[in-house]
Amino acid sequence: MPGAMLGLLGGGQLGRMFIMAAHSMGYRVTVLDPAKDSPSSTIADRHLRADYLDSDTLYKLGSTCAGVTTEFENVPAESIRTLAEHGVVSPAASSIAVAQNRILEKKFIVNNGFEAVPYAVIQNSHNSNEALLQAHPELFPGLLKVSRFGYDGKGQIRVNSAAELDGAFNGFNREPCVLEQLLPLESEVSVIVARGFDGEVATFPVSENQHRNGILDVSIVPARISPEIIHRAKEIAVDIAEKLDHRGVLCVEFFVVADGSHRKLLVNEIAPRPHNSGHYTIDACITSQFEQQLRILCGIPLGSTAMHGAAVMVNLLGDLWQRGEPKWEEVLRHPSVKLHLYGKLAARPGRKMGHYTVLADTTEAALQLALEIKQALAGMDLQKS
């Protein structure tokens, strides 16, 4: 119940937003993160600055917190297993281990009967790769992705032919990779699903996502796709959560592709945590994805995921700061727009520094205003040069 101390692995903005949700309901939070002055640690009640595998620190976290969760999937699964010996942990190490490795993730998707983008595993044996590629020429042009620690466009590169593959593979230090076929996409969508320890499940409205340079740029909710695709996307997301036995918040990203006169969904990636495409829920839904994460960890019934209206979220990257502080009046002068900044000290190109969410009665109205603000921020930035 409120007043308890909760534990959080990770210091990023997802953790910061979890802490804000926890504080609003009267909880306290201890953050374990090796970095100094991270977005989470600066507002946490306690910061344990240590490596995620430090046994003494894990014991301290597990023995002093009523439950522990994580804000990113690349925390060592071994740390989650250790913490589970002391008490409640959400999600489990088994779920995180699948999602943090693209090879395991792809195998999980296909082995459980879900459709994925055509792909091949690229390992360190050159001869086996050649044989594999001869059997799958359709994979070119493709996208080569490292199996671990790739995000926001990092750790991936386009390869147009088998001749380019070896150079790209060397560029990733011959780490295990997956090669995905590049497909013509109609759209990209995602579903945030919450699943409690009692099996209770809730899904948020489907988000339509637009990316730029591999980084999420704009999320439009509700997604502008057919009711049939929306229903199927939610159905698959719940099925994935159940097959993973995931207890917590989970995001499933999909590609929508044409299949003759029909549309089909391909599972792209799984994130075993709150997701960038779900940030709109903070302002647009009765219950945010972060409060839902808190409710699951604490064994509280799930909240309503109903929306107040349409919403469009736009990411704010460090590029906007390269000529000085952005002109926030372009955002704040609109009464239906909410600004969220993450408290990061250094603004680097491509780094997520914040976001804003536009609320409106219709998707079209929200999108129009969101793009006007986006252009105004960029225009003011350019005028400083």
62 CB neighbour count, 10 Å cutoff: 21
To the question of whether residue 289 is assigned a binding role by annotation, the answer is no
To the question of whether residue 8 is assigned a binding role by annotation, the answer is no
To the question of whether residue 293 is assigned a binding role by annotation, the answer is no
To the question of whether residue 268 is assigned a binding role by annotation, the answer is yes
To the question of whether residue 115 is assigned a binding role by annotation, the answer is no
Phi, psi of 130 (to 5 degrees): -60, -45
CA angle 75, 80, 81 (to 5 degrees): 140
To the question of whether residue 183 is assigned a binding role by annotation, the answer is yes
Beta bridge partners of 144: 157, 179
The answer to whether the CB of 13 falls within 8 A of the CB of 78 is no
User: 114: Cβ–Cβ under 8 A, 6 or more apart, which residues?
Assistant: 236, 239, 240, 267
To the question of whether residue 269 is assigned a binding role by annotation, the answer is yes
To the question of whether residue 211 is assigned a binding role by annotation, the answer is yes
To the question of whether residue 26 is assigned a binding role by annotation, the answer is no
To the question of whether residue 102 is assigned a binding role by annotation, the answer is yes
Closest C-alpha to 172, from 240, 102, 237, 220? 102
To the question of whether residue 242 is assigned a binding role by annotation, the answer is no
Residue positions in the annotated binding site?
Answer: 102, 145, 150-156, 180-183, 188, 211, 268-269
Binding residue numbers for ATP: 102, 145, 150-156, 180-183, 188, 211, 268-269
